[in-house]
Structure 1
Amino acid sequence: MGSSPLHIAVIGSGIGGLTAAIALQAKGFQVDVYDQASELSAIGAGIALGGNGVRVLDELGLGPAVRAAASNLPRIQFHHWQSGDIFYEHPMGDWYDERFGGPFLGIHRGDMHQVLLDAFDGEPQLGRRAAAVHESPDGAEVEFADGSKVQADVVIGADGLRSVIRHHVTGPDEPVFSAMSCFRGLVPAQKVPGADTMGLTFMLGPGRHLVIYPVRGGELINFVAYVPDPEWTLESWSSKSEPAEAVAAFDGWNDTVVSMLSNVEEVGRWALYDREPLRKWSTERVTLLGDAAHPMLPHAGQGSNQAIEDVAALAHYLSADGLATAEALQKYEQLRKARTRQIQMGSRGNAACFQLPDGPPADERNARLVSLADNVAWIHGYNVYADLQEEK
């Protein structure tokens, strides 16, 4: 790989892109981050971090800061949509940490982003929307929409579902619309019944469901409310809805849901898309990471965690002795492709399971929840470093 450190251009300053930049700097690479946004703003949304993702953050030295900014969720509970009755619960907290090798955390996206910005040695270059990539045997050139260009040894596309870098790697493909949208918001904890003991909370009902959990040490309650909606096709972190629309969509639901939605001041709303799994992620100088490689619906809570796992593998192979750049990118892709594909497909199926009408199918689903911890162990207990170690 040569005696001088690789110069790596990361396109996208989200969670995957910044975590990659931090990990690659730790390996001694020169890293620049570019983002199309004109400013970095704290999006009002929460992120669920599982043990599989926190393990990587710990390895990068980010664990203490992430834990300090997050809420360690003490339990998981599933509630009936109308009565609010709990039909399944299981401890998390210490139990989860011991079982899966790290905590299950709820964290505000803005808080997570700040932790990463503080750890990155440098600043993302904003207002730089990638328009094209050109490769040569010696490197790659990123061309931006403003006409400027940068040279790099490796380009990492961490630019999300509608990635420009993905188009360079794989050619054109279209996002797959789920015919579902979600309302997202944050509510002061004192305005949500039961917030003081709340963990990871599911409210399941016919045709729609909510996922609710505390962030910022329990100060705020984050909710994501999923509804069928083939008409709402706008996929944007900044798109808004009227709170009254969220209230109306869950008319007749239990008091916790109605109270929470009635007290939210600002509601984000966006359509849910993913893409079909890719056959290839990389060229000789360019690769993809996170949503650019494997965008997934949020019904497994693994989008950020899978991007973070990607980071560990990519940094490992790019810094491995004796590997040419193209070979490192291929090994990264080979390690990550099957796992992320399986989680992508599972995420698609979970929504229907969460939104069954009352009756025998819902009763059967509820009975199966007794095996939930074992069924998700392959996701949450996964140790990417163990996989990398086995290859040696």
Structure 2
Amino acid sequence: MGLKGRNIIVVGAGVGGLAAALALRARGAEVTVLEQAGEISEVGAGLQISPNGVAVLHALGLGDALARIAMPSRAVVLRDYRRSGEVLRLDLARHAPDQDFYLVHRVDLIDMLACAARAAGIPLRLLQRVDRVTPGATPALHLANAAQARADLVVGADGLHSRARVALNGADAPFFTGQVAWRATVPNRLQLPPEARIYMGPGRHLVCYPLRGGTLVNIVAVQERKDWAEEGWHHRDDPANLRAAFADFRGLPAELLEQVREVLLWGLFRHPVAERWQGAGVAILGDAAHPTLPFLAQGANLALEDAWVLADCLAGEEDQVSALGRYQARRRDRAVRVIAAANANAWKYHFRLSPLREIGHLALRLGGAMAPAQAVHQFDWIYGYDVTASGR
């Protein structure tokens, strides 16, 4: 059926927004992307793109481009914060050889998507801060410079503080989870292989994996604490604070943290999944619809899924109201389930009491030793889900 002649504005030039713009343009829509920043860029560093996200990028014609900028991930390895040896190895290369897992620098992924958008003739308008969205038959965007923009559809891919989400749901009340996270990159002087390592300690864990052909190491370190830290990725912190928080982590984590010269800190907040993902001429996706804690590395992957399904629903049904309703119906329950799994994953890394931690780690070791393939495939319901397949 297609979207030829449909005028769509996408707010936000992140992973989900750019992917949505590409998917909508491929179906014939006239798409414009508005971005409040002065350049198309991203803070943060590493992303893990799992097969469910890779499927969307392949469907957008970007599979080869992704392979050029990303590293295939061979394994996910869980380790204790003080003891040598592995607690559990999820050997992706051996037990999931037909599935593609990638490690990619966020900036490189955004650049790849932005270049594809420009090549498709999609205008990317910078310094366009949206103050308010007014739903309606012809929805309106009210910009900070007092200008207005109108379209047949506004897609809010504008993140945690989405104006489009507020227009559909009103303001919500996120709460601090009692966890903060630091993010940094360092040179890969230790020659880490292409796998994600998770070091688990009492009330803390540290994730690291290589990026950019193995030249960098991405570090994300999460700590439970009572002190509140402001939400957002833009808050710089003293690397000494990070090292102090993980001072008892031995071996590789200590060596990596010693190299950190710049670090960003953010508080982890839990937002409810939006009740309404669509309304009169407005739809939301990604973090605007379902902010996700980073304990299953699914934030970017869910945004890619959303982008594809939104375009698929709009192109498959002439009535926009019905199409948007179908989009929410196809996406919301899955997002709720993935987010619940991510929330439940955090405590597994943070056993505080020694007996519980040792028992928990022993259970992981035994499970991995007795049924290594089953350990890998426990999340097939996430990774094996292909929104681009016919019949979804």
TM-score, normalised to structure 2, is 0.92
Partner of 1:343: 338
Q: Is the contact made by 1:135 and 1:285 (CA closer than 8 Å) also made in structure 2? A: yes
How far does residue 176 in structure 1 lie from its aligned partner after superposition? 2.8
Distance change in 2, residues 1:285/1:188 (3 Å): same
Question: Gaps spanning 5+ residues in structure 2: where?
Answer: none
Partner of 2:113: 116
Distance change in 2, residues 1:146/1:366 (3 Å): farther
Partner of 2:151: 152
Overall identity of the aligned pairs, in %: 33
Q: Is the contact made by 1:187 and 1:221 (CA closer than 8 Å) also made in structure 2? A: yes
Measure the CA separation in 1 of the matches of 2:378 and 2:74.
19
Tell me which amino acid in the other structure corresponds to 1:380: Y
One of 319, 322, 329 as aligned partner of 1:324 = 319
Q: Does 1:134 align with 2:134?
A: yes
Q: Spell out the pairing of 1:184-203 with structure 2 (5 A cutoff).
A: 184-190=183-189, 192=190, 194-195=191-192, 197-203=193-199
Q: Is the contact made by 1:356 and 1:362 (CA closer than 8 Å) also made in structure 2? A: no
Which shows bigger deviation, 263-272 or 333-342?
263-272
Partner of 1:236: 232
Q: Spell out the pairing of 1:172-187 with structure 2 (5 A cutoff).
A: 172-187=171-186
SS in 1 for 2:279: coil
How far does residue 42 in structure 1 lie from its aligned partner after superposition? 4.4
How far does residue 323 in structure 1 lie from its aligned partner after superposition? 2.8
Measure the CA separation in 2 of the matches of 1:265 and 1:41.
21
One of 235, 255, 262 as aligned partner of 2:258 = 262
SS in 2 for 1:251: coil
Partner of 1:59: 59
1:269-313, Cα deviation, whole Å (9 max, x unpaired): 111123112322110310110000011101011000000011111
Tell me which amino acid in the other structure corresponds to 1:113: I
How far does residue 365 in structure 1 lie from its aligned partner after superposition? 4.5
Measure the CA separation in 2 of the matches of 1:360 and 1:86.
15
How far does residue 123 in structure 1 lie from its aligned partner after superposition? 4.3
One of 102, 107, 113 as aligned partner of 2:104 = 107
Partner of 1:390: 391
1:153-201, Cα deviation, whole Å (9 max, x unpaired): 00011011111110001112112321111111111111x3x51x24111
CA-atom RMSD, angstroms?
A: 1.8
Measure the CA separation in 2 of the matches of 1:90 and 1:132.
45
1:39-76, Cα deviation, whole Å (9 max, x unpaired): 33342410110000001100101111111111111122
Tell me which amino acid in the other structure corresponds to 2:23: A
Partner of 2:38: 38
Q: Does 1:334 align with 2:326?
A: no
Measure the CA separation in 1 of the matches of 2:260 and 2:64.
30
How far does residue 83 in structure 1 lie from its aligned partner after superposition? 1.8
Tell me which amino acid in the other structure corresponds to 1:90: L
Distance change in 2, residues 1:126/1:252 (3 Å): same
Partner of 2:22: 22
Measure the CA separation in 1 of the matches of 2:330 and 2:273.
15
SS in 1 for 2:180: strand
Partner of 2:347: 352
How far does residue 94 in structure 1 lie from its aligned partner after superposition? 6.5
SS in 2 for 1:248: helix
SS in 2 for 1:136: coil
Measure the CA separation in 2 of the matches of 1:9 and 1:263.
43
Measure the CA separation in 2 of the matches of 1:97 and 1:13.
33
Distance change in 2, residues 1:123/1:262 (3 Å): farther
Q: Is the contact made by 1:161 and 1:274 (CA closer than 8 Å) also made in structure 2? A: no
Which shows bigger deviation, 149-158 or 65-74?
65-74
Measure the CA separation in 2 of the matches of 1:277 and 1:308.
17
Partner of 1:278: 274
Distance change in 2, residues 1:264/1:3 (3 Å): closer
Q: Is the contact made by 1:183 and 1:267 (CA closer than 8 Å) also made in structure 2? A: yes
Q: Does 1:222 align with 2:225?
A: no
Distance change in 2, residues 1:252/1:4 (3 Å): closer
How far does residue 230 in structure 1 lie from its aligned partner after superposition? 3.1
SS in 1 for 2:247: coil
Partner of 2:292: 296
Tell me which amino acid in the other structure corresponds to 2:107: G
Q: Is the contact made by 1:71 and 1:106 (CA closer than 8 Å) also made in structure 2? A: yes
Tell me which amino acid in the other structure corresponds to 1:250: F
Q: Is the contact made by 1:205 and 1:354 (CA closer than 8 Å) also made in structure 2? A: yes
How far does residue 360 in structure 1 lie from its aligned partner after superposition? 2.2
Q: Is the contact made by 1:180 and 1:227 (CA closer than 8 Å) also made in structure 2? A: yes
How far does residue 363 in structure 1 lie from its aligned partner after superposition? 2.8
1:113-172, Cα deviation, whole Å (9 max, x unpaired): 1101110034422221111122333x1111112211101000011011111110001112
How far does residue 368 in structure 1 lie from its aligned partner after superposition? 4.3
Length, aligned pairs only: 381
Q: Does 1:373 align with 2:369?
A: no
SS in 2 for 1:223: strand
1:187-246, Cα deviation, whole Å (9 max, x unpaired): 1111x3x51x24111111111001111111111111110001332321222211111111
